């Protein structure tokens, strides 16, 4: 007699569950980056937390706080120092251009003069053969972009406050996850209506891929950016720290990577007659910077994540195109969960077919 009523109650509960979950996700959406990196850092440093927990005799608050200090000194303080050096290096680079010490017009005309006649004529047809014309074209584009930037100027204070709040949210969430992450994970596992083996596989794949992508990509990016910056300094290129950081960021893009930065500089050296500098930079970029990417990235990312290299490549590019810089994590994680889910479905289907054939 009560079955229709019980069914209605379950449907209502399910609808309410979906509605409040979507509403909660919508509330958290402005700070999804803070939440994402809080989760990522908690997963990466969870082994440190577990070891400190044993040393500190199961004092969870003290162990979590100590791990947070380790993260601050190992991650955030170096990032702040690099950012400060980058700003200083960029400012000096800008001042050299502004004072005329670095005359981009002269460099540009030297490059055009060194090109073959047919290529120089082709660039002239597109309005790219004269630096002043190119500068005017860029100025028009900058003016249009400035209209958008001006509309955002009044929000600078608000955006700064939101950024500071985001950092605080990330640190607070990170502390909470370090302290109670294992309890929260167990609770989530209990709520998911799946076989225990399937839940274990999904959670294991999730944490493994995050560790592999973050540690692998950041490690490779840091090495490539550092080596590229050293070579730029050796060749006397202004702003080596600036270009090193740019190469590190570009190295997050598979296949292309840091070559987006060093290759145009090498080409400029060649067409302006600086042959040994251009040849040195090309050889160094291919044999050192490129070799690191081709050897270490598949081992650290693809191997640990247990995914083919082409899947890592496509999912990373798609993730960056969809989620921005955070996509180098989101893309491979979604790809790994996709593969794991279809593997489970395939195994379930094979088991069902075997049971049917036996009966």
- The residue-averaged pLDDT of 131-143 equals 48
Whole-angstrom CA distances from 61 to 56, 57, 181, 183, 234 are 10, 11, 12, 14, 48
pLDDT at residue 240 is higher than 70: yes
Select the more confidently predicted residue: 146 or 205: 205
Predicted confidence at residue 304, as pLDDT, reads 59
Residue 127's contacts (CB-CB under 8 Å, 6 or more residues apart) are 133, 134, 137
Are 114 and 272 in contact, with CB atoms under 8 Å apart?
yes
pLDDT tens by residue, 77-108: 877 777 777 667 666 666 666 666 555 555 55
Structure tokens at 305: 């994540």
Predicted confidence at residue 270, as pLDDT, reads 78
- Residues 193, 194, 199, 205: is their CA dihedral positive or negative? negative
pLDDT at residue 127 is higher than 70: no
Are 177 and 45 in contact, with CB atoms under 8 Å apart?
no
pLDDT at residue 142 is higher than 60: no
Closest-CA residue to 234 (of 199, 277, 197, 265): 277
For the beta carbon of residue 353, count every other beta carbon within 10 angstroms: 10
Percent of the chain's residues with pLDDT above 90: 1
Residue 277's contacts (CB-CB under 8 Å, 6 or more residues apart) are 235, 266, 269
Predicted confidence at residue 307, as pLDDT, reads 74
Element (H, E) at 137: helix 131-153
The pLDDT mean for the chain works out to 75
* Burial call 266-298: b when 16+ CB within 10 Å, e when fewer: bebbbbeeeeebbebbbebbeeebbebbeeebb
In DSSP notation, 184-240 reads: HHHHHHHHS-S-HHHHHHHHHHHHHHHHHHHHHHHHHHHHHHHHHHHHHHHTT-S-H
Predicted confidence at residue 151, as pLDDT, reads 47
C-alpha dihedral (140, 249, 105, 266), degrees to nearest 10: -140
Select the more confidently predicted residue: 229 or 216: 229
Lowest-pLDDT range, 52-56, 121-125, 180-184, 349-353? 121-125
Whole-angstrom CA distances from 352 to 198, 212, 347 are 16, 34, 9
Structure tokens at 217: 């990509």
pLDDT tens by residue, 44-62: 888 888 888 888 888 888 8
Element (H, E) at 348: helix 327-358
Predicted confidence at residue 274, as pLDDT, reads 78
Select the more confidently predicted residue: 242 or 298: 242
CA-CA distance, 200 to 172, in Å (whole number)? 27
- Torsion region of 84: left, alpha or beta (phi above 0 gives left; psi -120 to 50 gives alpha): alpha
Predicted confidence at residue 138, as pLDDT, reads 44
Closest-CA residue to 286 (of 276, 299, 295): 295
Structure tokens at 270: 């060649």
Confidence of residue 163 (pLDDT cuts 50, 70, 90): confident
Select the more confidently predicted residue: 194 or 44: 44
pLDDT at residue 302 is higher than 50: yes
- The residue-averaged pLDDT of 1-12 equals 71
Predicted confidence at residue 145, as pLDDT, reads 43
pLDDT at residue 110 is higher than 60: no
- The residue-averaged pLDDT of 114-121 equals 57
Predicted confidence at residue 156, as pLDDT, reads 45
pLDDT tens by residue, 63-81: 889 999 988 888 888 777 7
Are 183 and 44 in contact, with CB atoms under 8 Å apart?
no
Structure tokens at 76: 């955030």
Lowest-pLDDT range, 101-110, 119-128, 134-143, 202-211? 134-143
pLDDT at residue 135 is higher than 60: no
For the beta carbon of residue 320, count every other beta carbon within 10 angstroms: 19
Confidence of residue 212 (pLDDT cuts 50, 70, 90): confident
Closest-CA residue to 102 (of 285, 242, 262, 257): 242
How many Cα atoms are found within 13 Å in the side-chain-facing hemisphere of 334?
16
For the beta carbon of residue 4, count every other beta carbon within 10 angstroms: 8
pLDDT tens by residue, 334-346: 888 888 888 787 7
- The residue-averaged pLDDT of 117-135 equals 54
pLDDT at residue 112 is higher than 70: no
CA-CA distance, 225 to 230, in Å (whole number)? 9
């Amino acid at each position: 007699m009560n079955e229709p009523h019980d069914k209605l109650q379950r449907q209502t509960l399910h609808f309410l569950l979906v509605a409040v979950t979507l509403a909660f996700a919508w509330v958290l959406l402005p700070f999804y980056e803070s939440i994402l990196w809080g989760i990522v850092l908690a997963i990466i440093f969870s082994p440190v937390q577990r070891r400190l927990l044993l040393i500190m005799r199961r004092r969870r608050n003290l162990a979590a706080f100590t791990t947070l200090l380790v993260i601050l000194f190992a991650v955030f303080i170096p990032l702040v120092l690099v950012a400060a050096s980058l700003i200083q290096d960029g400012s000096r680079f800008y001042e050299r251009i502004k004072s005329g010490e670095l005359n981009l017009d002269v460099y540009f005309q030297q490059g055009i003069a060194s090109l073959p006649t047919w290529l120089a004529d082709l660039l002239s047809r597109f309005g790219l053969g004269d630096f002043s014309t190119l500068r005017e074209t860029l100025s028009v584009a900058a003016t249009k972009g400035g209209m958008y930037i001006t509309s955002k100027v009044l929000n600078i204070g608000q955006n700064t406050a939101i950024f500071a709040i985001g950092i605080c949210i990330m640190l607070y969430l990170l502390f909470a996850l370090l302290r109670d992450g294992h309890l929260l994970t167990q609770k989530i596992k209990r709520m998911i209506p799946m076989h225990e083996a399937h839940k274990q596989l999904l959670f294991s794949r999730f944490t493994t891929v995050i560790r592999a992508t973050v540690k692998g990509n950041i490690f490779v990016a840091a090495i490539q950016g550092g080596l590229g910056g050293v070579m730029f300094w050796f060749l006397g290129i202004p702003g080596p720290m600036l270009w090193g950081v740019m190469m590190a960021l570009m190295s997050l893009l598979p296949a292309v990577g840091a070559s987006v930065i060093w290759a145009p500089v090498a080409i400029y050296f060649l067409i302006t007659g600086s042959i040994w500098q251009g040849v040195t930079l090309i050889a160094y970029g291919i044999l050192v910077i490129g070799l690191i990417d081709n050897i270490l990235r598949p081992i650290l990312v693809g191997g640990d994540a247990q995914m083919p290299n082409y899947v890592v490549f496509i999912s990373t590019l798609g993730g960056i195109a969809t989620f921005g810089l955070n996509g180098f994590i989101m893309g491979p994680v979604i790809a790994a969960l996709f593969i794991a889910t279809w593997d489970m479905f395939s195994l379930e289907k094979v088991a069902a077919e075997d049971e049917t054939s036996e009966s």
